[in-house]
Structure 1
Amino acid sequence: MTLSIGDRAPEFSLLDTDGNLVTLSDLRGQRVVLYFYPRDNTPGCTKEACAFRDNYAEFRSQKVVILGVSADDAKSHAKFTAKFQLPFPLLCDVDAKVATEYESYGKKKFMGKEYMGMFRNTFVIDADGKIEKIYRNVKAEVHPAQVLADLVSTD
């Protein structure tokens, strides 16, 4: 089954960098930008995270919660968060279970080699827990500004 706009967003509970459990249903009443990215401290992922950081005040003014998700552990997330002063939680999906439910984990190719990895996808989830918008295989640097522009235009 392919996730589509209007579908109920798959429920999840994941630990953040500080060991807090973040559960999607606890965020009802708020819009959520759930972005999946391959790895902490890699060039594209750093650009994407920093672009979300640089637009963070505007996302918050739209009452939007930003959550980054990768298969990295809390220690890696903590270093990444501290190094780039990320003001939003990074969630630890070490077994890629949530990413799989969100069709954001699977077979990738790089330099002729196949491997399993995280896709750079983003889901905007509305206040009722339904998928409002889906961005697949995004361009790291410009993507956060695009999401923000779309959120502002749909208000």
Structure 2
Amino acid sequence: MTPGQPAPDFDAFDQHGNRHRLADYRGRWLALYFYPRDDTPGCTKQACSIRDGRADLAAHGLTVLGVSAQGSAAHRAFADKFALDFPLLVDDGQRIARRYGALGSGPAGLLRRWLGAYRRISVLIDPEGRIAHVIERPDVSRHADELLGLLPPA
């Protein structure tokens, strides 16, 4: 993923069965954050950071979508347990992760594919549908603030 290049297309359903496509977000800022697994310590901190910062993110025009390899039932349970009020996409066949580099490469990438545990990365997409920033190692406790720091002033 290189800033300036077009964001890879995606089409997926969230934990409630709602469909999300890249084209749905044209004209708005979008962050796709890839996380290893639902309801694990680091993933919970990251999701709660986004939940707690959601009002500020929305005020800056940013929508955030979480992406991991678990199914809708696991996503719903995770979202319900921690009152997560944003979509968690079901990435059937790891298609989105492959397009966005969330599986990585080499032996570690093969292991991630087999385990269904993504690399923790976030991709900020601008309103024109281009990659604006890639956060290779998000700070799970401050992820909402990281994203805010990359957006233009509201």
Q: Which residue of 1 aligns with 2:64?
A: 66
Q: Which residue of 2 aligns with 1:7?
A: 5
The TM-score with structure 1 as length reference comes to: 0.89
Matches within 5 A, 1:1-40: 3-40=1-38
CA distance in 1, matches of 2:46, 2:99: 22
Q: Which residue of 1 aligns with 2:121?
A: 121
Deviates more, 1:138-147 or 1:98-107: 138-147
Matches within 5 A, 1:100-115: 100-106=98-104, 107-108=107-108, 115=111
SS class of match (1:95): helix
1:63 is displaced (CA, Å) by 1.1
The TM-score with structure 2 as length reference comes to: 0.90
Q: What is the one-letter code of the residue matched to 1:105?
A: L
1:152 is displaced (CA, Å) by 4.7
CA distance in 2, matches of 1:47, 1:17: 19
Contact between 1:70 and 1:94, CA under 8 Å: does it hold in 2?
Answer: no
CA distance in 2, matches of 1:132, 1:141: 22
Cα RMSD of the aligned pairs, angstroms, is 1.6
SS class of match (1:32): strand
Contact between 1:48 and 1:140, CA under 8 Å: does it hold in 2?
Answer: yes
Structure number with higher helix proportion? 2
SS class of match (1:85): coil
CA distance in 1, matches of 2:22, 2:87: 13
SS class of match (1:44): helix
Aligned pair 1:148/2:148, yes or no?
A: yes
Number of aligned residues = 148
Deviations 1:47-87 (A, max 9, x none): 00000000000001011111000001000000011111111
The gaps in structure 1 that reach 5 residues or longer are none
CA distance in 1, matches of 2:122, 2:20: 17
The gaps in structure 2 that reach 5 residues or longer are none
Contact between 2:57 and 2:144, CA under 8 Å: does it hold in 1?
Answer: no
CA distance in 1, matches of 2:89, 2:144: 18
CA distance in 1, matches of 2:142, 2:17: 30
* Residue identity (%): 37
Contact between 1:108 and 1:115, CA under 8 Å: does it hold in 2?
Answer: yes
SS class of match (2:108): strand
